[in-house]
Amino acid sequence: MTIKAGDKMPDGNFGIMTDEGPGSLSTGELFSGKKVVLFSVPGAFTPTCSLNHLPGFVDHADAIREKGADTIACMAVNDVFVMDAWGKDRNVGDKVLMLADGNGDYAQALGLELDASGYGMGQRGQRFSIIVDDGVATQVNIEAGGEFKVSNAETALEQLSN
């Protein structure tokens, strides 16, 4: 079943890069007591993801935090090494937390998996954004196939203002 506004975020873990190497971050650590803007892209280094989606959140990070977000997090069905390299390539710094959903387990738990095998990309996650307040999804924005209209940083800013 696909997550919707009002639902509790499912439990899970993400891969993250730490100063000591690959590590793990639980959804409890990520969401508990915090307002988080979580967005997902089908793949690191892909055109829309690299040129528009991630950069929009980097560019608007300060404004998003001013609207009450404690964390901005980018999720993709890629491994922790790819997510770390992509973050460095896009000069993310500490503006966006890069989360690896290596096997797509969290995308599946959200009901937002994507079969991109027709494009040679295997199982991925859909393009979406979710505003999470203390572990509960308050806004869920899922893109139609091939679109980039509702999961962008501007939409998150607007929704945080309401």
| DSSP symbols for 76-97 | ESS-HHHHHHHHHHTT-TTSSE
Percent of the chain with pLDDT over 70: 98
β-pairing, 21-26 vs 13-18, is antiparallel
Beta bridge partners of 19: none
Does 79 have pLDDT greater than 70? yes
What would the CATH number be for the domain defined by 13-161? 3.40.30.10
- The domain ranges of the chain are 13-161
Tell me what pLDDT residue 162 has: 73
Confidence band (pLDDT; 50, 70, 90) for 19? Answer: very high
Confidence band (pLDDT; 50, 70, 90) for 47? Answer: confident
Give the CA distances from residue 110 to residues 8, 90, 118, 124, in Å, rounded to whole numbers and listed in that order: 10, 26, 22, 12
What are the pLDDT digits (tens) for 90-116? 999 999 999 999 999 999 999 998 776
Tell me what pLDDT residue 122 has: 63
Q: Which residues contact 76 (CB under 8 A, 6 or more apart)?
A: 40, 41, 42, 43, 44, 49, 82, 83, 99, 100, 101, 124, 125
Q: What tokens does 2 get?
A: 């696909």
Q: Active site residue: 49, 80, 99, 130, which one?
A: 49
Identify the three-state secondary structure at position 54.
Answer: helix
What are the pLDDT digits (tens) for 103-152? 999 999 999 987 767 777 768 789 999 999 999 999 999 999 889 999 99
Average pLDDT, stretch 9-34?
A: 98
Percent of the chain with pLDDT over 90: 84
Confidence band (pLDDT; 50, 70, 90) for 73? Answer: very high
Does the annotation mark 49 as catalytic?
yes
| 149 closest CA partner among 52, 60, 50 | 52
Task: Give the predicted TM-score (pTM) of the model.
Answer: 0.95
Q: CA-CA distance, 17 to 4, in Å (whole number)?
A: 29
